[in-house]
Amino acid sequence: MAQYTSNSEGGVLVLSGMHGSIKDPAAAREKILDGAATADGATLSVAAKDFTPAGSEVTITCQVVSMAQAGGGSTPLPICAWADDNTNASVSLITATGATQSPEEVDLAAAAKATAQVREEIRRPIG
């Protein structure tokens, strides 16, 4: 797992993934998102939706999970995942603006596009 911050936008990108032989990419995407939705303090707020952003050859599935906050309330967290024959990962992009939106206001298409960009940047041939 890796976490990156943006000084210009004040956001945090959290990446969690693996590489290896993925026999069923659709099931792998589903499993990673199910894990996020059933984590302690999490509630699934917007069901998973599939996207194929322009230039991407894989399906990216995104959902919104609301995370309980100390003292009450919750924060919406968009989570997107991809899986292909040899990589499986999830990406969450947390911004100050996103933290104040309702779960239904989260732009999952934009989250999928950002996830596709992350995928493109991190995938490199082994060897």
According to the model, what pLDDT value does residue 126 have?
A: 66
Question: What is the distance in angstroms between the CA of the first residue and the CA of the last residue of the chain?
Answer: 22
- CA 115 distance to own-chain centroid: 7
Give all domains of the chain, ordered by start, each with its CATH number: 2-122 (3.40.1000)
pLDDT in tens, the chain (127 residues): 555 555 556 688 899 999 899 999 999 999 999 999 999 999 999 999 999 999 999 999 999 999 998 888 899 999 999 999 999 999 998 888 888 899 999 999 999 999 999 999 887 766 6
Half-sphere exposure of 107 (CA within 13 A, CB side): 9
Instruction: Output the pTM of the full model.
Output: 0.89
Q: How many CB atoms lie within 10 A of CB 12?
A: 13
